[in-house]
Chain A
């Protein structure tokens, strides 16, 4: 059975915004990694001690 296929072609503006969104996500994830690393250093062995 033939399937009619359509293609979406993003405009330059859409590509630029998608790139910016991707960079923002990458920065947020990078910041999260750094945050966990720094907190691990600060807490030392107590990092696993999470009292209520």
Chain B
């Protein structure tokens, strides 16, 4: 962020010094660096982790945990945009982001992301739990260093392994409430982990040219469209039992079980449609439909867990 005064002076000596450009970034530009749409899903899954965990957490402490997880996710998104500014500039989907558009300087984005990361981890540790803070720090590290800087540009399995970063928020929420980890948050982790490949690859089917232009080894670019469709179907099929696991293992009620099985079947049906439709406009439409439904799928599953837990508390109090 700029600290230049209204009429700042600076000296130009014999050596060429870089020309200072006053920042033209608005508050909205900085907020856009935090990937608010991704953040909303992170906040929701973390909220479910906080709420369904056994034990009591004071609403203010719970809100603080949620705020820190949201800001931590924003920090990871900002650092991702800083590192990926070069490829964002050549991809149609991302070329209008704040850094490639020249609204925020790369150095400003780096500083903004680093400050957000430090504050989110520090505040979570000081006010809630150092175990949750350590997990949040690891999540930011995993997303920025392991996924963004390493895997994304080197392997078509980038979003499979990197997807773990998006699967941590409900676990962090759980740890914030209980102070420890058990099987239930691991199941929530696995649901998001196996949900990520069909979600992301359905988008990459439509944007394959973009990724190829940016030299990102996404699965459709490296292995081809047909192999990507096959992998989408495979992961969608695995997602059905994984999604139903909280019910199968007795951690959720039958409402969740029915929802998970029906929504999982719909996911597989849409993935099958992606597989069977020919390439071109119809194939693209099927992929977009799967991408949109996958967001609904994750939201519905976690929402039912939240509602079941809320009803359980309500019934418990009424009894």
Contact = CB atoms under 8 A, between A and B. Distances in A.
Interface of A: 3-10, 13-15, 17-18, 20-21, 24-25, 32, 35-36, 38-39, 42-43, 50-52
Contacts of B23: 14, 17-18, 21
B95 interface: no
Interface residues of B, number: 33
Contacts of B127: 35-36, 39
Scoring A9, A13, A14, A18 by chain B CB atoms within 10 A of each residue's CB, the highest score goes to: A18
B1 A39 contact: no
B26 A20 contact: yes
Given A6-B10, A6-B12, A39 B61 contact: yes
Contacts of B12: 3-6
Contacts of A42: 58, 60-61
Closest CB pairs A-B (n = 6): A24-B27, A3-B11, A42-B60, A39-B127, A8-B8, A20-B27
A21 B1 contact: yes
Contacts, number: 79
Contacts of A24: 27, 30
A10 to B, nearest CB: 6
Contacts of B177: none
Given A3-B13, A20-B26, A52-B131, A35 B7 contact: no
Contacts of A7: 7-9
Contact of A8 (B4, B24, B30): B4
Given A4-B12, A42-B60, 15 more contacts: A3-B12, A3-B13, A5-B10, A7-B7, A8-B9, A9-B6, A13-B24, A17-B26, A18-B23, A20-B26, A21-B26, A24-B30, A35-B67, A39-B61, A42-B61
Contacts of A8: 4, 7-10, 20, 22
Nearest to A22: B1
A7 B61 CA distance: 49
A38 B67 CA distance: 14
Contacts of B1: 21, 25
A15 B317 CA distance: 56
A51 B119 CA distance: 19
Nearest to B134: A52
Nearest to A4: B12
Contacts of A32: 119, 123
B2 A5 contact: no
B83 interface: no
Contacts of B319: none
Given A8-B20, A24-B27, A35 B64 contact: yes
With most chain A CB atoms within 10 A of its CB, the pick from B4, B22, B125, B130 is: B22
A50 B64 CA distance: 15
B9 A6 contact: yes
14 contacts: A3-B12, A3-B13, A4-B12, A5-B10, A8-B4, A10-B4, A17-B23, A17-B24, A18-B2, A32-B119, A50-B130, A51-B179, A52-B130, A52-B131
Nearest to A16: B26
Contacts of B20: 8
